């Protein structure tokens, strides 16, 4: 291993440590403030499989995405997060669902977009925030530990037969609404 690769590995480990320490602190702050949050996720389908990511600071799998910055539309946020997290650009984002719940200790509304690709493009993970990416079949999703917004999307999309597993915080009052072209459903766990 060259010196620059060793230095990069140490730097990445430092970033992962910072994420692991700061995320629980951020969740505590969000719980105290109870300020509503808005985010955007992207369900990337490769054939019938779904791409999920694992962050360095979470145990659960998640769809690519994150928070919406001030002045940014949900679609712009979804595109930005795809580029930042897995270096993927797509012109074909379709708004599929809007899910709401109390996740990470705060009220959250998440816009979930879908994109379908015929084959998995080459992905670039930063190995700091995003440390793993994997395709899952529908049957593999059934017992997978996923984040609250991802679980709400999977249930709304009909990909989960039951509420599934979550090792994260309790999900209170999950409600979902479909975009007008889809049937709306309200769920309470």
Q: Mean pLDDT highest for which of 15-29, 111-125, 153-167?
A: 111-125
Closest-CA residue to 126 (of 25, 44, 38, 16):
16
| Exposed e or buried b per residue across 124-162, where buried means at least 16 C-beta atoms within 10 angstroms of its C-beta | eeebbbbbebeebeeeebeebbbbbbbbbbbbbbebbee
pLDDT tens, residue by residue, 81-103: 999 888 888 878 999 999 999 88
Mind giving me the DSSP string for 101-151? EEETTEEEEEEEEEEEESSPPPP---SSSEEEEEEE-HHHHTT-BB-HHHH
Spatial distance between the Cα atoms of 68 and 83, rounded to a whole number of angstroms: 14
Complete domains list, the chain, with CATH = 3-178 (3.90.79.10)
In this prediction, residue 17 has a pLDDT band, given cuts at 50, 70 and 90, of: confident
pLDDT tens, residue by residue, 18-66: 777 776 777 777 677 778 889 999 999 999 999 999 988 888 999 999 9
Chain-centroid distance, C-alpha 119 = 20
Query: How do strand 37-46 and strand 106-117 relate by DSSP bridges?
Result: parallel
Q: What is the pTM of this model?
A: 0.76
């Amino acid at each position: 291993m060259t010196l620059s690769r060793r230095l990069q590995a140490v730097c990445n480990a430092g970033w992962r440590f910072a994420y692991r320490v700061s995320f629980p602190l951020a969740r505590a702050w969000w719980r105290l403030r109870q300020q509503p949050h808005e985010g955007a996720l992207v369900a990337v389908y490769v054939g019938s499989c779904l791409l999920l990511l694992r962050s360095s600071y979470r145990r659960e799998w998640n769809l690519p995405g994150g928070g919406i910055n001030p002045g940014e539309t949900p679609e712009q946020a979804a595109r930005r997060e795809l580029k930042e997290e897995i270096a993927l650009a797509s012109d074909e984002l379709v708004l599929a669902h809007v899910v709401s719940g109390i996740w990470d200790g705060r009220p959250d509304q998440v816009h979930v977009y879908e994109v379908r690709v015929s084959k998995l493009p080459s992905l670039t993970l930063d190995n700091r925030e995003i440390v793993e990416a994997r395709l899952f079949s529908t049957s593999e999703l059934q017992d997978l530990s996923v984040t609250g917004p991802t679980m709400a999307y999977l249930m709304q999309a009909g990909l989960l037969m039951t509420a599934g597993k979550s090792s994260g915080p309790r999900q209170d009052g999950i409600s979902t609404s479909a975009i007008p072209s889809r049937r709306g459903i309200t769920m309470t766990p």
